[in-house]
């Protein structure tokens, strides 16, 4: 009896994972490593680069999950990302337009940016999809 189970990932999952890993690695090497001797980037460039990377990861995950046809998984992806992006946008708008934000709020931004750029949520979505498809085929 041959009892092999095949793990099924979404179409273009591995290409998307490579893109997310490349974006995350680039951010870590260029903006988050003080021990590397790289030219100092102005603050606005750093912010724009982070926003671009967040948008790239969000779009990549959205594109891959759109191809799955599972609306609840895609909805969770959008809900998590858009909620956290809205929080970051509000903090950024307040900081640039009104007044400096408190240290507690400022300290909450870095982990959120790290989470949105890191491949953790992308990997989790792929694994949830694989488990869902495995249960569905059983």
Cβ-based neighbour number of residue 7 at 10 Å? 11
Integer angstrom CA distances of residue 72 from 75, 87, 96, 122: 5, 22, 36, 15
| Mean of all residue pLDDT scores within the chain | 82
**pLDDT-based confidence at 1, cuts 50/70/90?**
very low
User: Percent of the chain at pLDDT above 90?
Assistant: 21
pTM of the model: 0.81
HSE-CB for 118 with a 13 A CA cutoff: 10
Does residue 21 contact residue 119 with C-beta atoms inside 8 Å? yes
Does residue 81 contact residue 116 with C-beta atoms inside 8 Å? yes
Out of 26-30, 82-86, 110-114, 123-127, pick the least confident.
26-30
């Amino acid at each position: 009896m041959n009892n092999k189970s095949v793990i099924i990932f979404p179409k273009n999952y591995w290409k998307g994972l490579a893109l997310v890993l490349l974006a995350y690695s680039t951010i870590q090497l260029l903006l988050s490593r003080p021990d590397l001797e790289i030219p100092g980037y102005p603050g606005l460039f750093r912010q724009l680069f982070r926003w671009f990377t967040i948008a790239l990861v969000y779009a990549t995950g959205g594109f891959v999950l759109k191809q799955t046809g599972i609306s609840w998984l895609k909805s969770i992806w959008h809900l998590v990302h858009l909620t956290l992006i809205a929080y970051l946008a509000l903090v950024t708008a307040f900081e640039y337009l009104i007044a400096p934000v408190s240290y507690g709020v400022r300290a909450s931004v870095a982990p959120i940016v790290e989470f949105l750029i890191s491949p953790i949520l992308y990997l989790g979505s792929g694994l949830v999809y694989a488990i869902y498809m495995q249960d569905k085929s059983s």
